[in-house]
Every structure is written in structure tokens, then in C-alpha cells.
Amino acid sequence: MPTKSVVVGSAVGLHARPAAIISEAAAELDHEVLIGIPGDEAVAASSALLIMTLGAGKGATVEISGDDQAAVDAIAALVEKDLDA
């Protein structure tokens, strides 16, 4: 399973707006993508509510995983951006 570690780029972390943008993008993919804090259980990247439960703030490292490398890379790229800018 492809996995990528990335640093959260949004100033507010993975809170409401960034979580919504990420979940909408993940829901449009043909493959399930998971996001989680290393060492904790990952959650579906297609759920904004579950993403917010991670409590990942700006600068936190999260792991993105899934069955498809391109899908993992797409979500990882969003997590790294400041989606509140």
C-alpha cells in the first residue's frame, strides 16, 4: 500500500475548510485514501469530520495511504498546501 508522510501546510491545520477541501477531492477519486497521525489509526480522507478528529495542526506530520500512488500523491499535495490562503 503506497504511503506518503507530509507536513500539514494550512495555518489552521486540518480544520473545517481544509478538511472540506481535502474530503471533496478524496471523494472524487476512484480509490480510497486514508489519512492519519503516525502511530494512530488512519481515517477516510473522504470524510471532513473524520479528518478534523485527527487534531493535526500546522506543521504536524500525517501519513497518507491508499491503494493507488496517484491518489495518495494528489491528497498529499493538498495537505501540504495552505488551503486557507
Express each pLDDT in 17-47 by its tens digit.
999 999 999 999 999 999 999 999 999 999 9
Q: How far apart are CA 27 and CA 29, in angstroms?
A: 6
Q: How far apart are CA 13 and CA 46, in angstroms?
A: 17
Please say whether the beta carbons of 39 and 4 come within 8 A: no
Entry pTM: 0.94
Q: What is the CATH number of the domain that holds 54?
A: 3.30.1340.10
Give the chain's domain count: 1
In a domain, 10, yes or no: yes
3 state SS of 42: coil
Which of 10, 15, 35, 56 is the catalytic position?
A: 15
In a domain, 51, yes or no: yes
Active site residue 31: no
Cell 469530520 sits on residue: 49
Q: How far apart are CA 24 and CA 16, in angstroms?
A: 12
Residue ranges making up the domain that contains 8 = 3-80
In a domain, 53, yes or no: yes
Q: Residue 5 forms beta bridges with which residues? A: 63
Q: Does residue 85 surpass a pLDDT of 80?
A: no
In a domain, 85, yes or no: no
In a domain, 22, yes or no: yes
